[in-house]
Structure 1
């Protein structure tokens, strides 16, 4: 049984080395103008430095280019892809077919990971993009454990699954989407409305707070809970899922280091001593609960429940 990759999202170059020490195998970084919902902004200089640090330790760096690109951005894609090739990025994460087409022309040997957040829901679609040139498919966060395992059984590409962190509920290219809710009669109120950070939609009826994350790509409304699968990993590991993502969006570096250490231990136990993992998994969950922010309850996302549309 192979070990799945632990993929994390650093906030800055300074996070790379500590996260490697914590057990991370790979990193997702990028610039806001090309990537969606990045944990931190990485300039071209930062990207090069992050890749150099990671490669010196035998780790990988994937750069996000999964934004929704309009005409005015298309002309910039080739230059950025050439830069990533020269910087020795290990892969580009894309959703827009324009990235794939430009990459074929400018960097045909560049590894590509297909990620659209919501449409990786069946193996035919994943294999379709694989046959177009993608080496990995990032599965949607709304599918069940059984569906993930079934997709891996039929996959012609690597499979990546998010196992920890918040997920996206809604994205709009427009800024400050909360205005819409206020206009509709204040069904949801905006908390910290005048701040650039720490904004949220407050649903009084359900008692939920939905973080609002804004970047140059628009407004993103995030889940009120964080996924945590540290005590439910064994089936995914045994199924051969290739990469487990820990999303650090709106999380502190210290939190990410602590969580990465715990998942490193959990995954190593799943591979090397499954019985010991079963004995210790509850304790691992308790340790995450101890450091979890009070306003971010943990759950298992949609892994064990039906998605209701």
Structure 2
């Protein structure tokens, strides 16, 4: 049985080695201008340093270039992809076809992972992008376990699935909060504040708080709960899903390290002794609950729900 990659989003370069010690085998980082909803901001100097650290420990380093590209940013794309190729990143995550077209011209050997956030919902589309040059498909967060297994059974590319953390519910290129505050005549400079942990949309009817922030890519509204399926990994491991992602956005370094360690333990235990993993499921979940922030409940996302569009 193949051991899946444990992919984590570090907040800074200094967090990479602790996460490796906690059991991470791959990382995704990037620069806000080119990548969406990253746990931390990584300059070119940071990317180069991160690649060296990751490769020294025989782990992989991916860079997100999955922003929604407009014409004004396209001239900067060739130079950035050339830089990523030259420093030796293991793959670039993309959603816009502009990236794959540009990479063909300036860095044809650069490995590409397809991630459109919401439209990777079937194996045929995953294979389409595979035939265009992608080596991996990052599945949408809104599909259930049966769909994930079926996609993996028919996929010609690697499959990546998020198993822990918050998910994006809405994005607009517009700076909605800043525009609203300006309309109200309030002096609140939110544009450029990036991942400010103090801003929420409060739904009183559901008693839910949705984290919200604005950055270079616009306005982002996130889920009110964190996905967690540390106790439901069997089917995907059996199916051969290549990568499990822990998204650490808006989380502390200590939290991300502890969660990574627990998933590392859970994955390894299942591979060594499936029956023992089954016996320990609830213990793993209880340990996650023990370190979960008080304002963030856990759920299983869409893994066991009927997908509704």
TM-score, normalised relative to structure 2 = 0.94
CA distance in 2, matches of 1:4, 1:266: 12
Task: Using the TM superposition, name which of 120-129 and 207-216 deviates more.
Answer: 207-216
Q: Which residue in 1 is equivalent to 2:129?
A: 129
Instruction: Report 1:138-217 matches (<5 A).
Output: 138-177=138-177, 196=193, 197-198=196-197, 199-217=199-217
Deviation at 1:214, TM superposition (A): 2.2
Q: How has the CA–CA distance of structure 1 residues 178 and 205 changed in structure 2, closer, same or farther, with 3 Å as cutoff?
A: farther
Contact 2:177 2:214 in 1 (8 A): no
1:120 and 2:120 are equivalent in the alignment: yes
Deviation at 1:302, TM superposition (A): 0.3
Q: Which residue in 2 is equivalent to 1:249?
A: 249
CA distance in 1, matches of 2:11, 2:86: 23
1:20 and 2:32 are equivalent in the alignment: no
CA distance in 2, matches of 1:53, 1:120: 31
CA distance in 2, matches of 1:3, 1:226: 24
Contact 1:39 1:250 in 2 (8 A): yes
Deviation at 1:213, TM superposition (A): 2.8
TM-score, normalised relative to structure 1 = 0.94
Secondary structure class of the residue paired with 1:250: coil
Secondary structure class of the residue paired with 1:169: strand
Secondary structure class of the residue paired with 2:134: coil
Unaligned runs of 5+ in 1: 184-192
Deviation at 1:307, TM superposition (A): 2.9
CA distance in 2, matches of 1:152, 1:136: 11
Contact 2:178 2:189 in 1 (8 A): no
Q: Which residue in 2 is equivalent to 1:230?
A: 230
What is the aligned-residue RMSD (CA, Å)?
1.7
Contact 1:211 1:221 in 2 (8 A): yes
Unaligned runs of 5+ in 2: none
- The alignment of Structure 1 onto Structure 2 pairs a total of residues equal to 301
Deviation at 1:125, TM superposition (A): 0.5
1:105 and 2:133 are equivalent in the alignment: no
Q: How has the CA–CA distance of structure 1 residues 94 and 128 changed in structure 2, closer, same or farther, with 3 Å as cutoff?
A: same
Contact 2:165 2:228 in 1 (8 A): yes
Secondary structure class of the residue paired with 2:83: helix
Deviation at 1:57, TM superposition (A): 0.3
Q: Which residue in 1 is equivalent to 2:83?
A: 83
